[in-house]
Amino acid sequence: MILEAVMIQVKESMETEYEEAFRGASKIISSMKGYISHELQRCMEVQGKYLLLVKWETLEDHTVGFRQSKEYQEWSIASFL
């Protein structure tokens, strides 16, 4: 099992929009081969900071199957960062 851990800093006052967009992204993530589980945690000490944890069966499921997928390329959260 591979644990992907991502620290995300969302632009000020964009937290609600980010969380809504992430709900859509959750459907993409969970549909990928090798997906096990994921969770998004909001930091209580720093506004706009999140920790995303995703469990994958293999490193390739994450790096190739997910990161190089058409679905990942089409969905972007860049406007929130």
Q: Residue 50: give the domain boundaries.
A: 2-80
Are the beta carbons of 21 and 78 closer than 8 angstroms? no
CATH number where 9 lies: 3.30.70.100
pLDDT tens for 21-47 read: 899 889 989 999 999 999 999 999 999
Number of domains in the chain: 1
Q: Is the pLDDT of residue 80 over 70?
A: no
Three-state SS at 34: coil
The predicted-structure confidence for 40-69, as pLDDT tens digits, reads as follows 999 999 999 999 999 999 999 999 998 888
pLDDT at 77 exceeding the cut of 60: no
Q: Which two tokens stand for residue 51?
A: 């920790």
SS (H, E, C) 61-78: HHHHHHCCCHHHHHCCCH
Residue 74: its pLDDT value, please? 73
